[in-house]
Amino acid sequence: MTNNGDHIYDGDYSNYNPHFHIPPTHPRAQSLLIREMLVDGYRKGLVASEGLIAHGRGEAFDYLLGEKTSSMAQCAIEAATSALLLSKFPVISVNGNLVALCAKNIVELSHLIGAKIEVNLFYRTIKRESLIKKELERFGAKEILGVTSSASAVIPELQSERRRVDPKGIMKADTVLVPLEDGDRTEALVKMGKIVVAIDLNPGSRTARSANITIVDNAIRAIPKMIMVVRKLKDLERKQREMVMKRIVKEYDNHKNLIESLSVMRGNIKGS
Ligand code: ATP
Ligand code: MG
């Protein structure tokens, strides 16, 4: 395999061919593979150098989580998916890390829940946002919002580049899925009256604490699981599905979920 970044990659890490040969029996194989996907995304210009460091912060929490989806995360995944399906105008906000990890699944989820995809970057450059757009289009995305001049609306009170949003997307949305988000913007979106669904490995981050529903899991595992939940819900007859989804959302308690996710991590530290 060459080290020139043009190897086969279909956006799904189970079929991913990394630059370096990671023996499948290596105890950290999956984690190393995910790192390679980020580095590959960086080489392609999708991921900002700072994004690699942000991944490291997430990786540390994933280590404490035992690198698997907890029952609390599964519960949040079901609530998140239901909230997105129940909403009138859902939008998935994407950044470089997310696209490097799960572009294909993001596009599939957006089709299944009828959500728009919008690019939103902390380190925004025209080059990077258009590379992200192209990567998502490669997996079948038809419309990508928030690129170049279309991110013309501004979230009040925010200073970072993350304040720039699309008036046809996040600005208009009733529910926003924000994987790997910055706390400032999560707080601002909640203040604007939007339902915010976050995917964040750190249960103590401002994002995790201020979102309405927080999935404490790696986005690379959470997004495919959301797809599975949509499929299961779609098997139900429409009226029954609505009833089930409303009940799931009503019974969900984000504060409790975060405390329990933290206690999984604490338990893993004690057990090690
Ligand atoms: P906040 O701004 O919400 O307080 P932060 O400043 O600590 O959080 P940021 O750098 O703004 O963190 O965003 C990175 C966040 O994304 C971190 O909380 C990190 O744990 C999380 N993260 C990184 N990679 C992943 C991943 N693959 N899946 C889920 N979460 C991740
Ligand atoms: Mg932050």
For the cut 70, the answer to whether the pLDDT of residue 19 exceeds it is no
Q: Which long-range contacts (CB under 8 A, 24 or more apart) does 124-131 make?
A: 124/161, 124/164, 127/45, 128/45, 128/46, 128/48, 128/96, 131/44, 131/45, 131/46
CA distance 261 to 203: 7
Average pLDDT over residues 187-204: 97
Residues β-bridged to residue 215: 199
Average pLDDT over residues 98-123: 97
Could you list which residues have their CB under 5 Å from ion ligand 2? 182-183
CB distance 108 to ligand 1 below 6 Å: no
Kindly report the length of the chain: 272
pLDDT band at 5 (very low <50, low <70, confident <90, very high): very low
CA distance 272 to 255: 26
CB distance 219 to ligand 1 below 6 Å: yes
Report CA(203)–ligand 1 centroid distance (Å).
10
For the cut 80, the answer to whether the pLDDT of residue 18 exceeds it is no
pLDDT, tens digit, 9 for 90 and up, residues 33-68: 999 999 999 999 999 999 999 999 999 999 999 999
pTM equals 0.93
pLDDT, tens digit, 9 for 90 and up, residues 219-233: 999 999 999 999 999
Q: Which CATH superfamily is domain 71-271 in?
A: Phosphopantoate/pantothenate synthetase (3.40.50.12640)
Cβ–Cβ under 8 Å, residues 13 and 223: no
Report CA(240)–ligand 1 centroid distance (Å).
36
Ligand 1 atom with minimal separation from the 34 CA: 27
Pocket test for ligand 1, best of 182, 187, 216, 261 (most atoms within 8 A of CB): 182
CA distance 219 to 106: 10
Give percent of the chain above pLDDT 90. 82
Average pLDDT over residues 114-124: 95
pLDDT band at 22 (very low <50, low <70, confident <90, very high): confident
Average pLDDT over residues 135-154: 95
Domain-by-domain residue ranges, the chain? 71-271
Pocket test for ligand 1, best of 123, 189, 201 (most atoms within 8 A of CB): 201
Q: What is the mean pLDDT of the chain?
A: 92
| Per-residue confidence (pLDDT) for residue 271, from 0 to 100 | 76
Report CA(207)–ligand 1 centroid distance (Å).
8
Average pLDDT over residues 93-107: 97
Nearest CA to ligand 1 atom 25: 58
Phi first, then psi, for residue 196 (nearest 5°) are -110, 125
For the cut 90, the answer to whether the pLDDT of residue 157 exceeds it is no
